[in-house]
Structure 1
Amino acid sequence: MHSTAQRPHMVSRIAGAIIWAFALVAAVAVPAAAAPEAPDGPAPGPLVVLNDYCQESGAVGQLEDGRTAYCTPVANTDAFVWSYSRNPMPRDPNTREYSCTENGCNFPDGSEVPAYQRCGILCGEPPTSGDVQSGLDECFRSGAPFEECEGRLNG
Structure 2
Amino acid sequence: MPAVASASRQSPVDGGTVTSGVGWRIDPFGSGRTVWHNGYDIAVPAGTPVHPTQSGTVYFAGTYKGYGNLVAVEHGKGYITLYGHNSEILVKPGQEVDTKTVIALSGSTGRSTGPHVHYEIRQIPQLAKQRREQMEQDLKVAIERSVGEMVEGYATGKGGPEQELLIPDLNE
TM-score (norm 2): 0.18
With a CA cutoff of 8 Å and minimum separation of 6, indicate the structure with the bigger relative contact order.
2
Counting strand residues as a fraction of each chain, which structure ranks higher? 2
Counting helix residues as a fraction of each chain, which structure ranks higher? 1
